[in-house]
Amino acid sequence: MTRICTHCVRLMEPFSGPRRASLDDARDALSASRRAERAQEILFTSQRALRDIKGQSPWLVGAWLLVASALGAVTAFGQPGDPASAKGDVLVYFGTYTGEKSKGIYVSRLDAGSGALSTPQLVAETPNPSYLAVHPTNDFLYAVNEVRSFDDQDTGSVSAFAIDRSSGKLTPLNQQASAGGGPAYLVVDKSGRHVLVANYGGGSVAALPIASDGTLKPASAFVQHTGSFSTADAQVHPTGKFLYGSNRGHDSIVVFAIDQETGRLTYVENRSTEGSTPRGFGIDPSGRYLLAANQRSDSVVVFRIDQQNGRLTPAGHTIDVGSPVCVKFVTR
């Protein structure tokens, strides 16, 4: 069975020690991400383009799903090189796996000055919202429900919420089938008209149109893939100068500097996430903080980002969140 795994790939893990990362693999990922940006434009332009993508390799589509948002193809905060300036506090939403310690989506506030996080509050009780995406207007939030069945069908679902930016509360809008089992990743195109969802269990990708009120319509496009591949959690700094990747093998974040002319990557460091299994992380809109979501230790740890070299330093702030796997920001 095909597996599209956006959580379980270790971008820089094919090396035995922190300083033996494969630069070739990293360069390939960056190059693929640039092709991926174009692939996204094609997918959402027309149905004909969707048929064209069906002939592409699963690895290429997977690479696109991995880094399209990180490189600015899908973003609510502008293109790389144009970081947003955060003033006051920023809303931070956490996607989780639900269970004894988690009931759904949580929100916290990041103090842009100190890096401190407020105590997280439950704002949406929904099953396994393991990945989140924010609409470019910051008015809506979308979450996968990583489940095997929805409405008595062998498919997962995608949930839509309206965001109250003053309080951070989420109001449920509607749900739609993800057109495949176990959806594990989604992005919103930069026009704000479609949600693209990748189904881990079904090995498929579906496009769901977004109505003007933020609700989701049934899938209008669907691609079934064959073969096996996996992708990693990687993000580019808002300035475009640094690439970050999560390493579950030794619980760290790897940092690379990006040559702005050639795209060449230079290894900077591996920084412990001070927890276990950092499946996801987020870089705040100002580019000053990185928040590492440690799934197995139920914690989110804040790091300061050195704007000159990209290095990470613990900010001294940690909050408890049950099984966190995704971090998304909304400016107020």
Q: Is residue 331 part of a domain?
A: no
The structure tokens 């000055």 sit at 113
- Give me the domain span that covers residue 302: 4-322
Distance of CA 96 to the CA centre of its chain: 12
- Domain contains 224: yes
- C-alpha dihedral sign at 263, 234, 46, 224: positive
For residue 197, tell me if it sits in a domain.
Answer: yes
18: in domain: yes
- C-alpha 90/C-alpha 310 separation (Å) is 21
Report d(CA 179, CA 131) in Å as an integer.
Answer: 16
Number of domains comprising the chain: 1
Q: Tell me the whole-structure pTM to 2 decimals.
A: 0.75
- The more confidently predicted of residues 300 and 183 is 300
Mean of all residue pLDDT scores within the chain: 77
Report if residue 231 sits inside a domain.
yes
Q: Is residue 216 part of a domain?
A: yes
- 157 falls within a domain: yes
Q: Does 125 fall in a domain?
A: yes
Which CATH number does the domain housing residue 304 bear? 2.130.10.10
Scored b (16 or more CB within 10 A) or e, 14-42 reads ebeebeebeeebbeebbebbeebbebbee
* Per-residue pLDDT reduced to its tens digit, 15-72: 334 344 444 444 444 444 443 343 333 333 333 333 333 333 333 334 344 334 333 3
Q: Return all residues near 167 (Cβ < 8 A) that are at least 6 apart.
A: none
